[in-house]
Structure 1
Amino acid sequence: MEVYIQLSSGKGPKECDFFLTKVLSIFKREALEKQILVTIVSQEQSEGELIRSAICKLTGHDIDIFLQSWTGSLQWTCTSPFRTFHKRKNWFIALFIVNEKNEVAISEDDILYQMIRSSGPGGQHVNKVSSAVRALHMPTGLMVVAMDTRSQLQNKKLATERLALKIMNMQDLTVKQEKDLQWHNHAEIERGNPIRVFKGIKFKGSL
């Protein structure tokens, strides 16, 4: 079973991005405890290494049951770690399942794959074999590179998924704008009814 989800802080302040970055680690850890693999397909960063939005693929069994305690608005109650005298203490992000109709199916006949070497720091090769994969979608000219794992097969699969995501963003900009609007409406409505609340700088969570 595979399910795609998105974590988003919308247009929230830096504190929301900080919250999302921490929650993503908690989400991955809890998923692993349920033997669910979480693969980050794409992410949008804000300041530094903070994450504003992440699309993840979940693989495993009983994912729908696991997501019942995650899907919706998430709240973090804590004083700002960035603004000492800021009065606000409640920060919100959201997790929602990506609609299947927005997924893009592409034919591998339209993709040109090239195996390349994964390079490490200082130009050192991670492997002597070519494990990284460059994928070119010939009809659109879009290209991605995947070198996340030592497995050429897994990197090829990741490259295909990232290419599909790029095509979706290019072809379906209107839908993306509608999703952004839905997110803003959703955030305003759900602020008083979070599915989970995390407290303090150690992010102690409750359902």
Structure 2
Amino acid sequence: MRPEISASLDDLETTLGTIEKVMDPDEMSDRVRELETQAADPSLWDDPEHAQKVTSELSNVQGSLKKLRGLRQRLDDMPVLFELAEEEGEGDELALAELKDLREEIEALEVKTMLSGEYDAREAVLTIRSGAGGVDASDWAEMLMRMYIRWAEKKGHKVEIYDTSYAEEAGIKSATLVIHGEYTYGTLSVEQGAHRLVRISPFDNQGRRQTSFAEVEVLPVVEQTDHIDIPDTDIRVDVFRSSGPGGQSVNTTDSAVRITHLPTNIVVTCQNEKSQLQNRASAMRVLQAKLLEKKRAEERAELDALGAGGNASWGNQMRSYVLHPYQMVKDLRTNYEVNDPQKVLDGDLDGFLEAGIRWRMSEQQKKD
């Protein structure tokens, strides 16, 4: 076996060994048996909500354990693959392709082990708002919404669009969507900040270059255990008819709901459901997520004031997408970049997400 291949396998062995220490497959096996016992109890479904949590966790732990064991088996088999290739004298292209795929999967799992924050395993609430740049910014906000939806679809995650506020000429003023799936909050939380687009404006009849901005906010979906109490006296609820592009009404009943949290003046709108009750419930979930994040931000500020941590802000502009005069997408925190913006805008975000998660881990270690 060539020295560089042996070195690569040794490197993967070290990485996978570290992952196994963190994930602890023996402990995962014990948890699977415990959850299987609970799932087999006929009385479990007396409490459907608890039953759903048990079966969901069982499925997730079983899947993670199967993935970890599969990677271990594939890595153990790699030396045999290269030996067979040498013996048969047919070249090692297939073995090298398997090594490349295995490295990518192990590195992706390594990144997942870095998602150990209190809320990282939860689903994500994304809010996208157009910023400076006029109609180009509204169009840019809609392009970003499409990018995240495409990313979620590629990962097999369900997306619910809670609210879309359309701009008059093109694009959107804002949109709120929930991306369902384990660890979607932890994964997408590194997307928070201002995204900058540079291109020849399709809305400028003189064909001039335009810079526009959109803001992305990422919050964890709130669970019942979070204890975010919102008294009825603290909110104002307004109902209206759902609207589509150009302000046109999309139904004939006042089913859309706008909730204003009076103490903070936070406003949440939901109009994706036909039922006013369903829209109110969805809007309350988003409001709770925003209040939970506000509470967390206040706690971080208190710790920072006591010298317990650095500045938690990610800064304003975090990524640039340049379509003219050259083609490039670059993350300004990690310096990760690609020269195919269209691929990124079609949802190919994994490289940026992994680089962002590694960068965040590195920054946290510096503070510690």
TM range (shorter): 0.5 to 0.7
**C-alpha root-mean-square deviation of aligned residues, in Å?**
5.7
Which amino acid counterpart does residue 107 of structure 1 have in structure 2?
A: D
- TM-score for both structures, normalised by structure 1: 0.53
Percent of matched pairs sharing the same residue: 23
Match runs of 1:1-207 below 5 Å: 1-42=122-163, 45-64=166-185, 67=188, 74=195, 76=197, 78-83=199-204, 84-88=206-210, 93=214, 95-98=216-219, 106-107=228-229, 110=232, 148-150=272-274, 154-161=278-285, 164=288, 182-183=315-316, 186=318, 190=332, 198-199=341-342, 207=349
Q: Deviations over 1:26-84 (max 9, x none)?
A: 32233134232333445555443522443433222241576389566656564210113
Report the structure, 1 or 2, having the larger helix content: 2
Q: Closer, same or farther in 2 for the Cα pair 1:190/1:73, shift >3 Å?
A: farther
Q: How far did residue 6 of structure 1 move? A: 3.3
Compare CA radii of gyration and give the structure with the larger one.
2
Q: How many residues align?
A: 195
Contact 1:75–1:194 at 8 Å: present in 2 too?
A: no
- Looking at structure 2, the residues matched to 45 and 62 of structure 1 have their Cα atoms a distance apart, in angstroms, of 29
Deviation, structure 1 residue 137 = 7.2
- The structural deviation recorded for 1:7 is 2.7
Deviation per CA, 1:110-135, whole angstroms, max 9, x where unpaired? 379x9x9x89999x867xxx987787
Distance of 1:206 and 1:6 partners within structure 2: 20
Report if the CA contact (8 A) 1:94-1:187 is conserved.
Answer: no
Higher strand share: 1
Distance change in 2, residues 1:29/1:143 (3 Å):
closer
Distance in 1 (CA, whole Å) between partners of 2:145 and 2:286 is 19
For normalisation by structure 2, the TM-score amounts to: 0.35
User: Structure 1 residues 183 and 40 mapped into 2: Cα distance closer, same or farther (>3 Å)?
Assistant: farther
One-letter code aligned to 2:316: W
Question: Aligned letter for 1:161?
Answer: R
1:166 deviates by: 8.8
Which consecutive residues of structure 2, in runs of 5 or more, have no partner in the other structure?
1-121, 293-297, 302-312, 321-330, 350-368
Query: Structure 1 residues 18, 195: closer, same or farther in 2, change over 3 A?
Result: farther
Asked if structure 1 preserves the Cα contact closer than 8 Å seen for 2:137 and 2:212, the reply is: yes
Between 1 and 2, higher relative CO (CA 8 Å, sep ≥ 6) is seen in 1
Q: Secondary structure at the match of 1:154?
A: helix
| Distance in 1 of aligned mates of 2:262 and 2:162 | 21
- Distance (whole Å) between structure 2 residues aligned to residue 73 and residue 26 of structure 1: 15
* Aligned position for 2:353: none
Deviation of the 1:157 alpha carbon: 1.6
AA aligned opposite 1:85: G
* 1:49/1:30 CA distance change after superposition, 3 Å: same
The 8 Å contact of residues 72 and 95 in structure 1, kept in 2 or not, is answered as: yes
Deviation string for 1:96-155 (max 9, x for gaps)?
A: 53489xxx965366379x9x9x89999x867xxx98778797999999885532456633
- Asked if the contact 1:20/1:52 (under 8 Å) is kept, the reply is yes
